[in-house]
Amino acid sequence: MLESIGKALRIRGLSKTYFTRSGEAVEALCPVNMDIRAGEFVAVVGPSGCGKSTLLQILAGITEPSAGEAYADDTRIHGPSIDRSMVFQNYALFPWLSVRRNVEFGLEHKGVPKAERREIAERYLKMVGLSAFADKQTNELSGGMKQRVAIARAFAVDPSVILMDEPFGALDALSRRLLQRELLRIWQEHRKTVLFITHSVVEAIYLADRIVVMTARPGRIRSEIEVDLEHPRDNTSPQFAELERDIYAQLDEELTRSFGLDQDA
Amino acid sequence: MSSKPSSSTPPPSVAMGRRAAGVSGAVLRGGGKRLLPFVYAAVTIAVIWELVVVITKPDAAILPSPWQSAQTFAHLVANGELARDVYASLRRVLSAWAGAAVIGIPLGLVMGYSHRFEKIADPFIELLRPISPLAWIPLAILWFGIGEIGKVFVVFIGTFFPIVLTTVAGVKSIDPTLINAGRVYGCTSGISLFRKVILPASLPSIVVGLRISFGMGWAAIIAAELVAAQSGLGFLIANGMEILRADEVLVGMVVIGVLGVMFDSVFRYAHRRLVWTE
């Protein structure tokens, strides 16, 4: 398959239809095609309920698509794999484990020996600036710290793809800015393929190489925008502002359509 | 436990030893304060009891004074009879309760996780649960006679359902993203998911279930021993009634109560120390 060379994720005609209790079909995701290059940072923005989280869950292997297929490094995705780690909006740390053991969790299942596990966990905790908190319980941490632990957990298993589902959505504005910078630094250092879902247009422009704009439900890809700005990006620069205007205009159109407001005009 | 070493972590074995030392230490330290309400209630009961005896002057075979009962208690301790009965009751409760846990926790974990299995198993649980363990005593005697098995069976019935139901509730209350996180981070088989995520995540509920069921088992064993036994605290008080020794009956009752409170506080303590909180 020549077309797949250098592509970490290949998505072909992927769709998802849910059935409500009354048997009504809800189309969450229209057939989606997408390619993501190895080492690329792709952000997905779209109105609520556009199926962007569903897309991510299918790629993580925790939800089965209704049709279509997705490939990670040319292997068809079927079920979860430690090669595609995930960062969840509500952190999803294991509260019965210490910070260190949370970071080691995936390594244990990869069969990494204990001493090495510990060493790797230390390294990634250092990367997110939480070395001093290794032996704390997770309930002793703030939201921003919890998400840093979750990021360390995601990178520690050395995956080829990291899926991030609105990872900073539950954080206050300051922690959010800090974690965006941290994530960018870590990504530049490790060059993992990242698929990042967000509601924040500014966040998407600040972080991503490419932004995928989704339509309102049922979600399709509306447009893809390459962000050709040098890091660190200045959100007051004219180029940044223009991208922001452009994406907001598209999203506004989608929202107007989804609320049926355009019919009045 | 206010200062925790954060930078220099002792190896697990040392930490465990330290923790165990901390456990007994804290029981002794915190014990006094928590005991006070019980002392207050016990003294009040003894005073009222003494007043009733002084005013009504009953036959000692019907209602002895607290002092007479205390002497009987000392006597039963000295001749080893009380220890024998406590041991007999406790052994029955522990074996039945442990058996109920060994069967009930895995059953509850699977019922809580699989809707299909819950649909199959839940009707049986719901149908049998309202039948008091005491209602099983006659059948237990018919089936197993008055030996150990019958009494263990009755306690098993009394402890099994609360363990299953609290385990099911514990599994159902798990945040689904935790299960997803477990799967993403390598729990590919059902067994590893149960062992690494579902069991620890539902542990707080399970421990509550174990505590409640132990209390129920402790109540059930006394009833079972009242009807058919040659030993145990239930036997002690039933026998006391037959030989007109109300003092022995009262000693048995007090010991049942005091031990019940003690077991419960051990469970509460274990719950606080061993179980994670969100």
Phi-psi region of A263 (alpha: psi -120 to 50; beta: other; left: phi over 0): alpha
Per-residue pLDDT at B1 exceeds 50? no
- Please report which confidence band the pLDDT of residue A217 belongs to, taking 50, 70 and 90 as the band edges: confident
Per domain, the residue ranges of chain B are 12-57, 75-274
Domain assignment present for residue A91? The answer is: no
At B15 the pLDDT is 40
Tell me if A133 is assigned to some domain. Answer: yes
pLDDT, tens only, A104-163: 999 998 889 999 999 999 999 999 999 999 999 999 999 999 999 999 999 999 999 999
The answer to whether the CB atoms of A80 and B177 lie below 8 A apart is no
- Statement to judge: residues A18 and A64 lie in one domain: yes
Q: Residues of A with CB below 8 A from B198's CB?
A: none
CB contact under 8 A, B276 and A62: no
pLDDT at residue B13 greater than cutoff 50: no
DSSP string, A180-239: HHHHHHHHHHH--EEEEEES-HHHHHHH-SEEEEEPSSSB-EEEEEE---PSSP-TTSHH
Verify whether the Cβ–Cβ distance B200 to A96 is below 8 Å: yes
Of B7, B186, B197, the CB nearest to A82: B186
Domain that holds residue A122: 96-149
Please choose, from the candidates B265, B277, B254, the residue with its C-alpha nearest in 3D space to the C-alpha of residue B76. Answer: B254
Contact A70, A11 (CB under 8 A): yes
| Interface touch A92/B178, C-beta < 8 Å | yes
Do A165 and A249 fall within a single domain?
A: yes
User: Are B276 and A95 inside 8 Å of each other by CB?
Assistant: yes
Q: How many CB atoms lie within 10 A of CB A98?
A: 19
Mean pLDDT of all residues in A163-188:
92
Do A49 and A76 lie in a common domain? Answer: yes
Q: Which residue of A has its CA nearest to B199?
A: A96
Contacts of A118 in chain B (CB under 8 A): none
In a domain, A259, yes or no: yes
- Quick check: B201 and A94 CB within 8 A? yes
Residue A227 located in a structural domain: yes
Task: With CB atoms and an 8 Å threshold, state whether B180 touches A86.
Answer: yes
For residue B213, pLDDT over 80 is answered with yes
| CB-CB contact of A143 with A173 (8 Å) | no
- Contact present, A51 and A213 (Cβ < 8 Å): no
A254 plus A128 within the same structural domain: no
Nearest to A109 among B186, B200, B277 (CB): B186
Residue A67: which CATH number?
A: 3.40.50.300
Same domain, A43 and A61: yes
Chain A partners within 8 Å of B201 (Cβ): 94, 96
Residues B162-167: what's their mean pLDDT? 96
- Count the domains in chain A: 2
Q: Do residues A31 and A73 share a domain? A: yes
Q: Number of A:B CB contacts under 8 A? A: 76
Q: Which of A94, A134, A137 sits opposite B178 (nearest CB)?
A: A94
Q: Are residues A110 and A13 in the same domain?
A: no
Q: B75-274 belongs to which homologous superfamily? A: MetI-like (1.10.3720.10)
Q: Which of A131, A149, A167 is the last residue of a domain?
A: A149
Distance from CA of B271 to the nearest CA of A (A): 13
In this structure, the answer to whether residues A163 and A69 fall within a common structural domain is yes
Instruction: State whether B184 and A57 contact (CB < 8 Å).
Output: no
Our CA-based measurement puts residue B108 at a distance from the nearest CA of chain A, in whole angstroms, of 20
Q: Give the pLDDT confidence of B108-130 residue by residue, as tens digits.
A: 999 999 999 999 999 999 999 99
Q: What are the pLDDT digits (tens) for A177-210? A: 999 999 999 999 988 999 999 999 999 999 999 9
Mutation pick from B4, B184, B271 vs chain A, by most beta carbons of A within 10 Å, is B184
DSSP-derived secondary structure for B149-175 = HHHHHHHHHHHHHHHHHHHHHHHHTS-
